[in-house]
Amino acid sequence: MFVNRADLGQPHADIVNTELPLLVTATGQYRMDGKPEMPTHRPDGRGDYQLIYIATGCGHFVLDGNEQILQKGTAILYRPNVVQNYTFYGKDDAEYYWCHFTGSEVEKLLSDCHIAEDRMVFSAGTSSDFQWLFLQMIRELQLKQSGYDTILPMNLRHILLLISRQQAEEKAVGNKILGEIENAIRHFNMHFHWDIEIKEYAQQHLMSPYWFSQNFKKVTGCSPAQYLISLRMAHAMNLLDNTDDTVAQIALAVGYDNTQYFYRLFRNHTGMTPVEYKQRKR
């Protein structure tokens, strides 16, 4: 196992300081070269704050009693006195960086970086800036040259700001995705009786068909084609319940000019043919 670490005091010391605004007390880099596992279990947590960044591989974390496998590009923040239970395994080719910090203005700094109190896990991205900044902190704390106690908080602030930026970018992308899917749902509901081609719809709205289908499924739980079929079948059932239209008329009304195809879709969707459905309802 490769270990590169530095400490302000004795290794593994739990330093709590409320006189200084921000103080980095320990930082390091662990790489699971040849070591089968690296477990950490602190039932009472620590008195300071700990930030972990997974650079490669993954880590196994027990959070709220449930194990979660967190992938590379993830940051985990442990606040004081929060139970810590996690393991890194050699088989996962894990490499991670960490630091402990304390100070009177830590919570204000976290708030300024939009790191909410009720969250521990953050998507941080895989920028090489994270590794560079952690390595800078390790070197500064190892050498303890003039001004190191000023540079360390600056590096930590930089890391937290990068996490904050990633959160903002993902939120913006998420809002864009949600907006596109909501527009598609609105279009399908208004024009389900049209001959809608999913590929053409995506391209007309400047989206790749794959991107559109994948994100539509993430938001709704089904593909655009499945959503459209369900929508059409719901309207077909309503027409069967409330009109005397023929199956051919209903098929055309919900967007199918091929009655046999509609017949087959309806049976797959409901377990009955349109005629059986109408007779059963009556």
pLDDT digits (tens, 9 = 90+) for 218-267: 888 899 999 999 999 999 999 998 888 999 999 999 999 999 999 999 99
pLDDT the model gives residue 88: 96
Q: In the structure encoding, which two tokens stand for residue 33, read together?
A: 């070269």
Q: Taking the domain 192-282, which CATH number applies?
A: 1.10.10.60
Rounded to two decimals, what is the model's pTM? 0.70
Instruction: State the helix-helix crossing angle for 209-220 and 224-242, rounded to 10 degrees.
Output: 60
Q: pLDDT, tens digit, for every residue of 141-172? A: 999 999 999 999 999 999 999 999 988 888 88
Residues 54 and 61: beta-carbon distance below 8 Å: no
Residues 165 and 57: beta-carbon distance below 8 Å: no
Residues 262 and 256: beta-carbon distance below 8 Å: yes
Please give the Cα distance from 193 to 181 (Å, whole number): 19
Please give the Cα distance from 142 to 157 (Å, whole number): 19
The domain spans of the chain are: 2-169, 192-282
pLDDT the model gives residue 281: 59
Residues 51 and 121: beta-carbon distance below 8 Å: no
Q: In the structure encoding, which two tokens stand for residue 63, read together?
A: 């959070």
pLDDT per 10-residue tile (average), the chain, 282 residues: 93 92 97 91 96 96 93 96 96 95 96 88 92 97 96 96 89 84 92 91 91 90 93 93 90 92 91 87 58
DSSP lists the bridge partners of residue 7 as: 26
pLDDT the model gives residue 12: 87
Q: Report the relative pairing of strands 84-89 and 95-102 from DSSP bridges.
A: unpaired
Q: In the structure encoding, which two tokens stand for residue 107, read together?
A: 């919570």
pLDDT the model gives residue 278: 84
Give CATH superfamily name and number for 2-169.
Answer: Regulatory protein AraC (2.60.120.280)
E strand or H helix at 95:
strand 95-102
